[in-house]
Amino acid sequence: AGDPEAGKAKAGVCAACHGPAGKASIPGYPHIAGQNKEYLANALKAFRSGERKGGFAALMSPMAAPLSDQDIEDLAAYFSTL
């Protein structure tokens, strides 16, 4: 399972678009604070694998590429608890 504290430590780069607490100040970007944990993990995996295309995939796939499964579980756990 994901560890929100470990996720928080890995979430620095996410803040650039999703806001410091997962609430995107840029209207076109999605809030991820309080989002369903399983949805977040599935979305990151789909970006990482390249399965998800179009929309923000071009921006998100490079972000997700270096993430391990554990990183993804931790990040999803962290943002879903905000």
Q: What is the dihedral of CA 72, 73, 78, 82, to 10 degrees?
A: 100
CB of 79 to a copy of itself, least distance (A): 12
Confirm or reject binding of residue 62 to a copy of itself (CB under 8 A).
no
Query: Looking only at residues 11 through 50 of this chain, which bind a copy of itself when binding is defined by CB under 8 A?
Result: 24, 27-31, 34-39, 42-43, 46, 50
CB of 71 to a copy of itself, least distance (A): 19
60 is written with which tokens? 């998100």
Of 49 and 68, CB closest to a copy of itself = 49
Gap between the Cα atoms of 58 and 52, Å rounded: 9
- CA 17 from centroid of its chain's CA atoms: 10
Length of the chain: 82
Binding site for a copy of itself (CB under 8 A): 24, 27-31, 34-39, 42-43, 46, 50-55, 57
